[in-house]
Amino acid sequence: MSQVLDAMFEKLVKEGEHVIDQGDDGDNFYVIDRGTFDIYVKCDGVGRCVGNYDNRGSFGELALMYNTPRAATITATSPGALWGLVSEILL
């Protein structure tokens, strides 16, 4: 447990900031501390909002678990804070 906590880092985000982008390689898993975020998935060249997070939740695990590109883009819709976990600790 202490190794996991030691591997986490705080990431402050601004409104409009992309936390992860669809198609990128996965590097971190994120846990939301505070803030709101939209989930966008691009299909046929068009990005659509398919959901959101409101001050709770986590994301980024799929690319790490399956060694695939990011499945969605996560954009901050308010200032917020995330706790990131580097992928090396998950392996």
39-81 pLDDT, tens per residue?
Answer: 999 989 899 999 999 999 999 999 988 999 999 999 999 999 9
Domain membership of residue 55 as a residue range: 1-89
Per the structure, the count of domains in the chain is 1
Cα gap 5→20, rounded to integer Å: 22
- CA–CA–CA angle 27, 13, 83 (5° rounding): 50
CATH number, domain with residue 73: 2.60.120.10
10-24 pLDDT, tens per residue?
Answer: 999 999 999 999 999
Band of residue 86 on the pLDDT scale cut at 50, 70, 90: confident
- In the prediction, which pLDDT does 61 show? 93
Which positions ≥6 away from 14 have C-beta within 8 Å? 76, 79
